[in-house]
Amino acid sequence: MPVKVMIPSPLRPYAGKRDSAEFNARTVGEALGRLTSEFAELRKHLYTEEGKLRSFINVYVNDEDIRYLAKENTPTKDGDTISIIPSIAGGLPSIARGGI
Amino acid sequence: MATTTQPETGAKPAASLSNEEILRYSRHLIMPEVGMEGQLKLKNAKVLLIGTGGLGAPLGLYLAAAGVGKLGLVDFDVVDFTNLQRQVTFGTSDVGKPKSEAARARLSNLNPDIQIQSFETQLTSSNALDLFKDFDIIVDGTDNFPTRYLVNDACILLGKPNVYGSIFRFEGQATVFGLPDGPCYRCLYPEPPPPGLVPSCAEGGVLGVLPGIVGSIQAMETIKLILGRGDHLIGRLLLFDALGMKFRELKLRKNPNCPVCGAHPTITKLIDYYEFCGVRGEEAPGPSLQVPEITPRELKARLDRGDDLFILDVREPHEYQICNLQGHLLPLGELTRRVHELDSSREMVAHCRSGKRSAEAVDFLRKAGFRKILNLKGGILAWSDEVDPSVPKY
């Protein structure tokens, strides 16, 4: 069942500069597993050392947040789009501003 | 959104427009969706802009032009040359001036009928609630995680809408947080990325038009909230991809267990947001990354002596084209894969633009067995400052 995984621009340097990739996968976890085996450097950006999805990374199947579905066990079907949406602060990422 | 145009206690809301105002706003007034009623709502509205930079530029210009009666501008920064590529409120003659004041001057010229207050200050946990309380809507146009979480929490504590926008290179996000039934920023992202895990300056930069588009979307949402018209971006995260020229939308849900807006909040006052975000927000690498260094002057002296040093440039190819030290180009992101190209027996100096990416490279290579590698302190920027000013800074 090919599903499309959309890779956001902050993570593309770790994914061979690709903006998307297609995998045969029955669940979100399986698709992300295939993605991170193909691009090993992505793994530490998506998962903690304990293997949990990082809390500043949200994953959607089509327009639904998997946290409100079955998380990584969320089933996928042919033609689904999985989006990885990291938090971005905006502006100039190289400069952390201010004194809060 | 009736909550957004409440007058200040004791202050009487404007009930009419002058003939000059009627002329100025005639293209609004002839639209039934705005009309006299809507224009008066705009005139009585009070909007606080956090940040007057890339997102703040279209926000300030459009909200002032639209006749929002009171605009607050919070920014402690000063205008520099690299801002002018996207922060269109400012002109070349503003370089060196405080942003909040330069923006106030520009916006007052655009619309002298509105009240504009500039706050040349850092938004902090100790002043945020005080600054926010006199405004109906807060618009977040900042550029760092600590301030994002601070703005979010302060808006939730005060029950004010937070019009959110953020950008990265050629992608943008926008939504509206902080409405009673809607989600907040913490529902979307409970925690910020730890320092070092978000790509740093290597992948930074932003296409100048992008904040113009995302900031304009925020301005539109702000005006719709004031007018109480249309469908707001509440519970929807709008994603914009400028390269693909595509808009997408994802569903945002209110997290019932959210620590700040959930049923049983654990955050009931503002906290230390620097600590929460790991001191420096998204900046990489983390403070723990201490690697052996060489200063630009020491490097110059050694090169002049004829020492055989291998210069490793870990920036991206397009940066190499801007300026270089004739080093061997191997971008940080490709280092793991291409490490075999390097000779660990040679003395090596790694550099990037500012010294951060190359510190990561040195750290990685040392762990991989390279013993003779140093990081160029301050990168090519410091080289330009201390050794060769003909090398351009970017």
Q: In angstroms, what separates the C-alpha of B334 from chain A's closest C-alpha? A: 8
Q: In a 10 Å sphere around its CB, with 0-12 CB exposed, 13-18 middle and 19+ buried, how is residue B167 labelled?
A: buried
Across the interface, do A97 and B141 touch by the CB < 8 Å criterion? no
The answer on pLDDT for B10 being more than 90 is no
Q: Which residues of A touch B173 (CB under 8 A)?
A: 85, 88
Choose from B282, B335, B360 for mutation: most chain A CBs within 10 A.
Answer: B282
Residue B261: both structure tokens together: 């807006």
The answer on pLDDT for A100 being more than 50 is no
Residue of B nearest to A10 (CA): B199
Amino acid at B381: L
Across the interface, do A100 and B167 touch by the CB < 8 Å criterion? no
Residue B143: both structure tokens together: 């550029």
Higher-confidence position of B373 and A86: B373
User: Which of B54, B190, B274 faces A91 most closely, judged by CB atoms?
Assistant: B54
What is the maximal distance between C-alpha atoms in chain B?
Answer: 80
Give catalytic residues of B, as residue numbers. 201, 352
Q: Across chain B, what does the average pLDDT equal?
A: 91
Instruction: Report residue A45's pLDDT band, with 50, 70 and 90 as the boundaries.
Output: confident
Contact B141, B59 (CB under 8 A): yes
Instruction: Report residue B355's pLDDT band, with 50, 70 and 90 as the boundaries.
Output: very high
- Which domains are present in chain B? 2-276 (3.40.50.720), 293-386 (3.40.250.10)
Paired strand residues for B119 = B74
**A97 in contact with B, Cβ within 8 Å:** yes
Closest Cα partner for B199 from B321, B82, B363, B316? B316
Across the interface, do B168 and A93 touch by the CB < 8 Å criterion? yes
**B139 in contact with A, Cβ within 8 Å:** no
Q: Say how far residue A84 (Cα) sits from the centre of its chain.
A: 3
Cα–Cα distance measured from residue B41 to residue B10, given in angstroms and rounded to the nearest whole number: 17
Across the interface, do A90 and B168 touch by the CB < 8 Å criterion? yes
Residue of A nearest to B202 (CA): A94
Kindly report, residue by residue over B209-245, the tens digit of the pLDDT: 999 999 999 999 999 999 999 999 999 999 999 988 9
User: Which of B150, B193, B251 faces A100 most closely, judged by CB atoms?
Assistant: B150
Q: In angstroms, what separates the C-alpha of A62 from chain B's closest C-alpha? A: 8
State ipTM: 0.85
What is the topology classification, in CATH, of domain A2-86? Ubiquitin-like (UB roll) (3.10.20)
Residue of B nearest to A11 (CA): B199
Q: Strand B373-376 to strand B348-351: parallel, antiparallel, or no bridges (unpaired)?
A: parallel
Q: Is the pTM of this model over 0.90?
A: no
| All structural domains of chain A with their residue ranges | 2-86
Beta strand spans in chain B (E): 46-50, 70-74, 115-119, 137-140, 162-168, 171-177, 236-241, 246-251, 293-294, 310-313, 328-329, 348-351, 373-376
